[in-house]
Homo-oligomer: A and B are copies of this chain.
């Protein structure tokens, strides 16, 4: 059985308390392995180590840091199968989706390494004119400096992608990293760290501390020696962290109740496919899963019928089977919350078209709810799982108003064929990303990723994460005041 330690200062170590934690497979309840159950003391050690790691990284040339990332990626490629399997087992994400995320050979989690290694080379400062003094003596330029020690705190929904949204970028820039993975799927992050450590990164450059947020997370967030927090999580976690982090840089992606809109001029067949992808992908547990469907009255019936048919055609079951589309929820706490919200919907008049029965273990049948209203928990609170509340909208304006009637604003999917509608939706919906004729739960590795309102802070991926993980320094030389 798998037994993993924490990585602190280049050493694989047990928790100071010697405690360990069992990682249980949501698919069949078996124990996938154990990890160190670290506490505040371990976090402190990791922070101290990261301070050293950061100094070592900055002395390295950029080319050397890139070379080490390349080496780590090559090492990971040799453990392709293992990485995919473990991620599937510990998270319950269906195998095909696990491969598409975690595979070092072709998965998107590892694309971050390519972007980090190559695009860091075009993260450039500026030479600036002197426009404040009426002479030619001043030369000004800006440059980017690594912020220092960066902590990555993530959830089980993308056990490989979420850590890798920080790791390669931070290291390429010269920051040290401390990863605190979700206890719902912690091993994938450890495997990434193993590759980095084997590649020869200096001690403390990359650390992994498995443990609970109240101990490990809180120490990382409050320590004066951590300069940046890259968080993936729920709203209350993010609120707490921003309050406790004070003047630190916080970069956050928060689980949201993302809408999906179908207008009367939409290609309905494509809308159905996209909606299924957005709502059921990652078992409906992604921060950017589709969680509310708003359909124009003129195409409402057609859409619902086709969407129910599509849902029924999807394979629901054991995530380890290669053709499974929808698997179990990750853990019982999430399941309970989802069931409570479903119960609330039922009480408030929601009609269950599919699903609605008792879950089997962590398996919750795909659930489509008509007559959903904006006063239900299921439409207001991000509810994890393959759960789809559907509402009718009267017009474009109505769709926008309902899409915006939330404290969140991460992603929106919307189907329309018109130029004017496309821009109207893009510009009037309050969100970080608007996808016209595409599902939510989507991104592009070279485009900005993040939300507005309570959906997050800052932007990730490519140049945007480089900006977040650096400070702009301004240097001015006065050439006339030399000796």
Which residues of A does B touch, CB under 8 Å? 59-64, 108, 111, 114-115, 117-136, 138-143, 224, 238-239, 242-247, 249, 252, 265-267, 270-271, 274, 407, 415-424, 426-427, 431-438, 442-450, 452, 454, 456-457, 459, 462-464, 471-483
Instruction: Say yes or no: A121 contacts B124, CB within 8 Å.
Output: no
Q: Which residue in B61, B418, B437 is a CB contact (below 8 Å) of A478? A: B437
Instruction: Say yes or no: B124 contacts A417, CB within 8 Å.
Output: no
Instruction: Say yes or no: A274 contacts B481, CB within 8 Å.
Output: yes
Question: Which residues of the other chain, B, contact A130 by a CB distance below 8 angstroms?
Answer: 61-62, 444
Question: Which residues of the other chain, B, contact A122 by a CB distance below 8 angstroms?
Answer: 119, 122, 446, 462-463
Instruction: Say yes or no: A477 contacts B422, CB within 8 Å.
Output: yes
Minimum C-beta distance from A229 to chain B (A): 12
Q: Which residue in B117, B142, B242, B463 is a CB contact (below 8 Å) of A127? A: B142
- The residue on B at minimum CB distance from A264 is B483
Given A131-B445, A139-B423, A449-B474, A481:B437 Cβ within 8 A: yes
Given A475-B426, A477-B422, A129:B446 Cβ within 8 A: yes
Instruction: Say yes or no: A478 contacts B446, CB within 8 Å.
Output: no
Q: 13 more A-B contacts (CB under 8 A) besides A418-B419, A437-B478?
A: A61-B136, A62-B129, A62-B131, A63-B133, A126-B127, A238-B247, A270-B481, A432-B472, A433-B473, A434-B474, A437-B481, A437-B482, A444-B476
Instruction: Say yes or no: B475 contacts A434, CB within 8 Å.
Output: yes
Question: Which residues of the other chain, B, contact A125 by a CB distance below 8 angstroms?
Answer: 126-127
Question: Which residues of the other chain, B, contact A252 by a CB distance below 8 angstroms?
Answer: 247
- The residue on B at minimum CB distance from A245 is B242
Instruction: Find the residue from A124, A130, A438, A456 having the highest chain B CB count within 10 A.
Output: A124
Question: Which residues of the other chain, B, contact A133 by a CB distance below 8 angstroms?
Answer: 61, 63, 444
* Distance in angstroms between the alpha carbons of A438 and B419 in the assembled complex: 14
List 19 contacting pairs A-B, 8 Å CB cutoff, sorted by A: A60-B136, A62-B131, A119-B121, A126-B127, A239-B247, A242-B242, A247-B454, A267-B483, A417-B418, A417-B419, A419-B421, A419-B477, A422-B477, A424-B479, A432-B473, A435-B475, A436-B478, A448-B472, A459-B472
Instruction: Say yes or no: A477 contacts B129, CB within 8 Å.
Output: no
Question: Which residues of the other chain, B, contact A457 by a CB distance below 8 angstroms?
Answer: 247, 249
Instruction: Say yes or no: A135 contacts B61, CB within 8 Å.
Output: yes
Instruction: Say yes or no: A477 contacts B437, CB within 8 Å.
Output: yes
Given A122-B446, A132-B108, A433-B473, A416:B419 Cβ within 8 A: yes
* Distance in angstroms between the alpha carbons of A249 and B471 in the assembled complex: 16
